[in-house]
Amino acid sequence: MPVNEKYIQDFAENEFMHIICKSVTGSLLFQNDHNKSYFLKKYAQYSFGYMDTYCYILIQNHVHLLVKCVSEHSLTLNLKSIGTDHLKTHQKKYLDKEISFSEALEFQMKDFFISYAMAFNKETSRSGSLFINPFRRIRIQNDLHLQQTIIYIHANAIKHGLCKNIEDVEWSSYKPLLSIKKTKLKREELMEYFGGRDNFIAMHKTQIDYFYLNSFEID
């Protein structure tokens, strides 16, 4: 079944995007915590220089990411610093202006999905595609949309009946964002959108019912 075009929006420089990647036929993306840790490790490698990550959640058959695309200038500088001999074909095409900024980010994300799928398939003696293609990406329209999306992502395990309290959600950015430990997440900037840490916690708690009382279905 074709994916609705509203879920396949172009990446744009300095814009927030909600990325949703689902498994084919609802199959498992992760069989253990090692798989989840490996997924995040590979994601950090592939997303570096392309996008900054603000929040995420890993569910057994799908993943949500909230990212902010870098600028076109920043991506160009990053790719030029790699060295021509180490560039992938799509990276060379971007520098030669043969593909767009959006296509450059799309190709990089697809490379990441393929890389993870190959490792997962090898470990589990599985074959074939693991992720639905194309993956969904939705551009964030305003600050309210941004807040709602962040809460929606963090509440996704609750939405799917995997737990009842947001404090119990594992493999999401909620607890790392509240921690004082070093993180690659854009913690300080994200908290500013909520007016501080206390408001971040309060809005998550008070709006959790929003995802059951209203039709905010985007995954």
Query: Residue 102 maps to which CATH number?
Result: 3.30.70.1290
pTM, two decimals, is: 0.92
Q: Is 15 part of any domain?
A: yes
Q: Is 34 part of any domain?
A: yes
Q: What is the number of structural domains in the chain?
A: 1
Q: Is 218 part of any domain?
A: no
Percent of the chain clearing pLDDT 70 (strictly above): 94
> Is residue 72 within 8 Å of 51, Cβ to Cβ?
no
Instruction: Measure CA 77 to chain center.
Output: 23
> Is residue 204 within 8 Å of 154, Cβ to Cβ?
yes
Q: Is 219 part of any domain?
A: no
Q: Is 129 part of any domain?
A: yes
Tens of pLDDT, residue by residue over 102-130, are 999 999 999 999 999 999 999 999 999 99
Q: Is 136 part of any domain?
A: yes
d(CA 217, CA 34): 30
Phi and psi angles of residue 183, each rounded to the nearest 5 degrees, phi first:
-145, 155
Q: Is 16 part of any domain?
A: yes
> Is residue 117 within 8 Å of 2, Cβ to Cβ?
no
* Owning domain of residue 137: 5-213
